[in-house]
């Protein structure tokens, strides 16, 4: 596999785009050695794209068009200039009841539309306590189509949005496990869940961690810039 840059993804969730996001010296721009992508709300997609940031949507619907009130299709996102799309974020699974099968159709549609999907997989705290975290992640992965462009984000549900990140060893164990599955041997695998400037170095340094999907800390431009700097050391 050719060595790829680290990928640092900013998931702004349902928050306004951070100050200065569209400036020419914005911290949300890719650097020579780090790929950066932002996931704003639908309302800010256009401004991000117009500012030449690499941009993705937080969700897209698999069907191309039709009577689906409130939804936007993968094709529409691509036509507007999005490059990436998140599929099956745990908040979508929790708040909108998205299943592994829904996520698989989204990934398929995203690929067909020419988007790069980032499929999020992770286990609950109950799964981890019961020692079935790898089985859960394997099951979620097995629902997905295999494609070179598809990026995997390992996002343990219990680590998202609460300051309790996985330990670097837990993250590496799961990333290495994912890579041990033949279909995902060469996949780009991101870690997500309370990653911040304080724990980024230890987590990003892990052998099988190819980048991060960042929520809270991505809303703070200075902190985000530090994480990109840390990623640059590994790229």
Kind and range of the H or E element at 128? Answer: helix 125-129
Q: Report, in Å, the least distance between residue 192 CB and ligand PGA.
A: 4
| Burial degree of 151 (CB within 10 A; 0-12, 13-18, 19+) | buried
**Least distance in Å: CB of 144 to ligand PGA?**
18
Which two three-digit tokens encode residue 28?
């949300």
d(C-alpha 155, C-alpha 13), whole Å? 15
Chain-centre distance for alpha carbon 12: 11
148 is catalytic: no
Looking at 104, 178, 216, 224, which residue binds ligand PGA (CB under 6 A)?
216
Q: Is 198 in the site for ligand PGA (CB under 6 A)?
A: no
Nearer to ligand PGA, 75 or 199 (CB): 199
Q: Which of 27, 213, 227, 231 binds ligand PGA (CB under 6 A)?
A: 213
**Residue span binding ligand PGA (CB under 6 A) among the ranges 18-26, 102-110, 137-145, 211-219:** 211-219
Active-site position among 91, 98, 123, 155: 155
Neighbours of 224 (CB within 10 A): 24
89 noted as active-site residue: yes
The DSSP bridge partners found for residue 151 are 118
Residue 152 binds to ligand PGA (criterion: CB under 6 A): no
DSSP 66-103: SS-TT--BHHHHHHHT--EEEES-HHHHHHH---HHHH
Q: Does 5 bind ligand PGA (CB under 6 A)?
A: no
Give the range of 28-36, 63-71, 183-191, 215-223 binding ligand PGA by CB under 6 A: 215-223
Q: Does 161 bind ligand PGA (CB under 6 A)?
A: yes
**Of the candidates 155, 144, 220, 149, the residue with the CA atom closest to the CA atom of residue 188:** 149
> Quick one: which of 214, 227, 228, 230 contacts ligand PGA (CB under 6 A)?
214
Q: Is 147 exposed, middle or buried (0-12, 13-18, 19+ CB in 10 A)?
A: middle
Assess 11 for contact with ligand PGA (CB under 6 A): yes
Name the residue nearer to ligand PGA (CB basis): 75 or 106. Answer: 106
How many helices (H) and strands (E) are present in the chain, helices listed first? 9, 8
Q: Which is nearer to ligand PGA, 74 or 215 (CB)?
A: 215
Q: Taking the alpha carbons of 100, 192, 70, 22 in that order, is the dihedral positive or negative? A: negative
Q: Name the catalytic one among 59, 89, 133, 175.
A: 89
Annotated catalytic sites, by residue? Answer: 89, 155
For ligand PGA, the binding residues (CB under 6 A) are 11, 155, 160-161, 192-195, 213-217
């Amino acid at each position: 596999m050719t060595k790829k840059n680290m990928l640092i993804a900013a998931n702004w969730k349902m928050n306004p785009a951070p100050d200065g996001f569209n400036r020419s010296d914005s911290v949300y721009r890719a650097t020579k050695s780090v790929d950066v992508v932002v996931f704003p709300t639908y309302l800010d997609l256009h401004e991000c794209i117009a500012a030449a940031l690499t941009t993705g949507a937080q969700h897209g619907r698999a069907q191309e068009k039709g009577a689906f009130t409130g939804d936007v299709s993968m094709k529409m996102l691509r036509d507007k200039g999005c490059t990436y799309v998140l599929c099956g974020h745990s908040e979508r699974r929790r708040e909108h009841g998205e299943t592994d099968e829904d996520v698989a159709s989204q990934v398929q549609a995203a690929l067909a539309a020419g988007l790069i999907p980032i499929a999020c997989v992770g286990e609950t705290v109950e799964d981890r306590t019961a020692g079935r975290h790898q089985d859960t992640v394997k099951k979620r992965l097995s629902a997905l189509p295999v494609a070179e462009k598809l990026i995997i984000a390992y996002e343990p549900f219990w680590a998202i949005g609460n300051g309790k990140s996985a330990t670097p060893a837990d993250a590496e164990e799961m990333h290495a496990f994912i890579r041990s599955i033949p279909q995902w041997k060469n996949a780009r695998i991101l870690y997500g869940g309370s990653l911040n400037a304080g724990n980024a170095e230890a987590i990003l340094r892990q052998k099988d961690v190819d980048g991060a999907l960042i929520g809270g800390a991505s809303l703070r431009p200075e902190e985000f810039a530090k994480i990109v700097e840390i990623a640059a050391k590994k790229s």
